[in-house]
Amino acid sequence: MKTYILVDTANTFFRARHVIRGDLTTKIGMALHISLNSVKKAWNDFDGSHVVFCLEGRSWRKDFYEPYKRNRSEARSALTEKEQDEDKLFWETFDLFNQFVAEKTNCSVLQHPELEADDLIAGWIQAHPKDNHVIVSTDGDFAQLIAPNVKQYNGVSNTIITHEGYFDDKKKKPVLDKKTGEPKAAPNPAFMLFEKCMRGDTSDNVFSAYPGVRTKGTRNKVGLQEAFEDKDTKGFNWNNMMLQRWVDHNGQEHRVLDDYNRNVTLCDLSAQPENIKHLIQDTVENAIENPKQVTQVGMKLMKFCAKWDLQRVSEQAQLYAEPLNGRYK
């Protein structure tokens, strides 16, 4: 049984902009350092066998649902000139980092113009059901993939999410719930996905299927918990919620079930349209069938470190090179 380190590359790289203070050069240097360090740490902590970097495409979801991530383009257009220059330099550096990973290491690189990293990470796991997987990302969307053989490593909160619970990466102890003081309950991937499809996702501009819905129902109104428990049998509570109708601020009427099904297609990483599933499968299979055989990875890493002045990485180049050298077998 192998352990694959699956890197949500853009998430890992760009989080440095939000957690590091300093000038632009410092931020870019730390973005590279954080990316390489996250891979090294996951490789060592989970006894990795091979690293897979997953990259973003434009996303098929924008064609399926026009508002998808429209809020992000609006946010970019509102940037000041200085912020736009910083954004441009970050993206240029990110592209050069991806080029290094693709050409100078033995890591698999998954990318397709129509797919997101989430699709490709889920696709790799589906193609390797008997192996272990560690997702390196801070993105909560991956909660739906958590299973006995799938963990998530959040390098910002230093948290490891498993099917047994949330654990502090440094103290190796359960993360405590801030309200109760008790260990935080293990994630319920199925309910978390259902809740996401019902509530929507503001970060991706996916609208709620039922605005204002309660988690727990009242005497007169069904909540998410009751509907979820009734999901498989499609009984009274399920139908009571799904057949509700509401009117948005433009006066347009919505049926909960219609918007829920739309959000399932957008959010459930096993429910993409069939043509998209084929693209995911083909992209993953291409990487599997064409494993890389790059030599002198350590030397290439040293040159990369020298170019970007990554002194702390170069001082331990052998440790950082090990995961980059692990071939797919």
Same domain, 207 and 314: no
Give the residue from 240, 267, 294 where a domain finishes: 267
Alpha-carbon distance 47 to 151, whole Å? 13
Same domain, 225 and 294: no
3-class secondary-structure state, position 126: helix
What digits encode the pLDDT tens for the residues 129-172?
Answer: 999 999 999 999 999 999 999 999 998 788 999 999 999 987 67
What's the CATH code of the domain at 239?
1.10.150
Contact 134, 54 (CB under 8 A): no
Instruction: Quote the pLDDT of residue 171.
Output: 64
Residue 80 pLDDT grade (very low, low, confident, very high; cuts 50, 70, 90):
confident
What global pTM score does this model have?
0.94
Same domain, 108 and 172: yes
Alpha-carbon distance 77 to 96, whole Å? 24
Residues 6 or more apart in contact with residue 73 via CB below 8 angstroms: none
Domain span holding position 56: 3-187+272-325
What number is the average pLDDT over the span 291-318?
Answer: 95
Alpha-carbon distance 119 to 117, whole Å? 5
Instruction: Quote the pLDDT of residue 55.
Output: 97
Residue 306's H or E segment, with its range, is helix 297-308
In the predicted structure, residue 91 carries a pLDDT above the cut 80: yes
In the predicted structure, residue 125 carries a pLDDT above the cut 80: yes
Give the residue from 239, 267, 295 where a domain finishes: 267
What residues are paired with 151 via a beta bridge? 134
What's the CATH code of the domain at 78?
3.40.50.1010
Same domain, 177 and 212: no
Q: Between 80 and 131, where is the model more confident? A: 131
Residues 6 or more apart in contact with residue 211 via CB below 8 angstroms: 246
Residue 4 pLDDT grade (very low, low, confident, very high; cuts 50, 70, 90):
very high
Contact 27, 83 (CB under 8 A): no
Same domain, 223 and 317: no
Alpha-carbon distance 229 to 303, whole Å? 56
Residue 294 pLDDT grade (very low, low, confident, very high; cuts 50, 70, 90):
very high
Residue 63 pLDDT grade (very low, low, confident, very high; cuts 50, 70, 90):
very high
Same domain, 127 and 99: yes
Same domain, 102 and 200: no
Give the residue from 267, 297, 315 where a domain finishes: 267
Whole-number percent of the chain with pLDDT over 70: 100
What digits encode the pLDDT tens for the residues 8-35?
Answer: 999 999 987 777 777 888 889 999 999 9
Same domain, 133 and 238: no
* Count of domains observed in the chain: 2
Q: Could you give the angle at the alpha carbon of 194 between the alpha carbons of 188 and 197, nearest 5°?
A: 140
Alpha-carbon distance 220 to 314, whole Å? 64
Q: What is the DSSP letter of 147?
A: B
